[in-house]
Structure 1
């Protein structure tokens, strides 16, 4: 099983090497990178490329590691016992399987995405160490041990909002997705907007990277945002000539797709004001 990318996803050579290395080592693949660089989509495309099902576990700040294994609904069982419901005699009726359990008992190998692990409490990764290592866990309420029929391909994403524990990092194969350079970005755009005019794309990407390189920018626009911006430019049937700025404003056309807070908008407005004052 080798990942080589798909028609819908431009995977660089180092990324395909990282995916295949993690599969070979049977280690979770920890993927970091700026938001919008395709970390989550990578898991979807790996599943598509390898022809296997996919399970997604999206992590929130309140998510606990136990939820990935199972949850025991003691409250419902107590209520049912008070109502005389016969199903209370089987505790398994009150066990809700988590995503790891589903991945472990799947009849075929699956891709398991643990998305944005850095959103959770710092203890969250450590609480999953043994389960991801041994590919099994114990259900105390029923006395059963759940073992993985086949080791899932685990892909874990992080936006680098907090440091992950060393013990967890040691068990992962790590890859950082670099922000695409112009050549890679052109390939990505061609996948999403095939046949886009070369002069329009050149002008648009020049402005996009100028914005990203601007000192003092609070939030750099991402790959997903430039794709949205290009979609708007095409919908408005704008040309490369239409994108040229006259100096009255340093803001690009339809800048709301690229700049997502008022500080960055004001930054470019100040730049335009300063440019006018130097004339």
Structure 2
């Protein structure tokens, strides 16, 4: 059982090694990288590559670790008891299984994605230490211990918005997805847009690279954004010649797919203004 690139996802050698190492060690794989570099999609492709079902737990700022295990609905039980409902005699009727519980009791091994763990409270990772390490947890309302029938492959993503606790990091295998080099980026584009004209691809990626490397850029465009941009270029049937810029406008065509805040747009407008002044 080894992960490799798929028809829909180009994984670097380092990323393939990281996934397979985490599987071998039976440790969660913690994946960091710029937003839009394919961290979430990695879990889906690991699932597809290994032929395993996937369970996805998307983390929000209000998410609590307990929700991943189970939640006891005491309010519903109280209401049913007032109505004389016989369901109140079995507390299990009021326990909602979380994503970890679902992964632990699955009939076969699954891929469990804990997506954007850094969105939650700083204590969230610590609250899952024992459960992810021992692959079991205790249900106080029923007095039972839930153990993983098949140890899931756990993939945890983070956009690095906040530091994670050392005790949590110690239990993970870590990998940082670097922005792909030019050749890898071309291979990724070919997966999504097979047969794209080489001249257009070269011109677009050259312009994209220059944009990413512009000093002072607040948010560098990511892999997903260059794919969106190329999709628009193809939809508008633009050629490599159409992408050429003059001193009047430093902004690339359809730049809204690449630049996502007004500071970066103003930066390129200032660069165009300075170029015009120097050209006088």
Mapping 1:16-95, distance limit 5 Å: 16-95=16-95
Mapping 1:168-183, distance limit 5 Å: 168-183=168-183
Q: CA deviation at 1:15?
A: 0.3
Distance 1:208 1:88 in 2: 61
Give structure 2 stretches of 5+ with no counterpart: none
Q: CA deviation at 1:264?
A: 0.7
Q: CA deviation at 1:254?
A: 0.5
Distance 1:178 1:188 in 2: 14
Give structure 1 stretches of 5+ with no counterpart: none
1:126 and 2:126 correspond? yes
Distance 1:21 1:5 in 2: 15
TM-score if structure 2 supplies the norm length? 0.99
Q: CA deviation at 1:246?
A: 1.5
Mapping 1:145-164, distance limit 5 Å: 145-164=145-164
Distance 2:152 2:5 in 1: 19
1:4 and 2:4 correspond? yes
RMSD: 0.5
Distance 2:84 2:5 in 1: 55
Distance 2:71 2:209 in 1: 47
Distance 1:270 1:92 in 2: 64
SS at match of 1:183: helix
Q: Deviations over 1:109-137 (max 9, x none)?
A: 00000000000000000000000011000
SS at match of 1:278: helix
Moved over 4 A (4+): none
Distance 1:272 1:5 in 2: 41
Distance 1:148 1:231 in 2: 43
Distance 2:180 2:16 in 1: 15
Map of 1:104 onto structure 2? 104
SS at match of 1:4: coil
Map of 2:201 onto structure 1? 201
Distance 1:260 1:178 in 2: 21
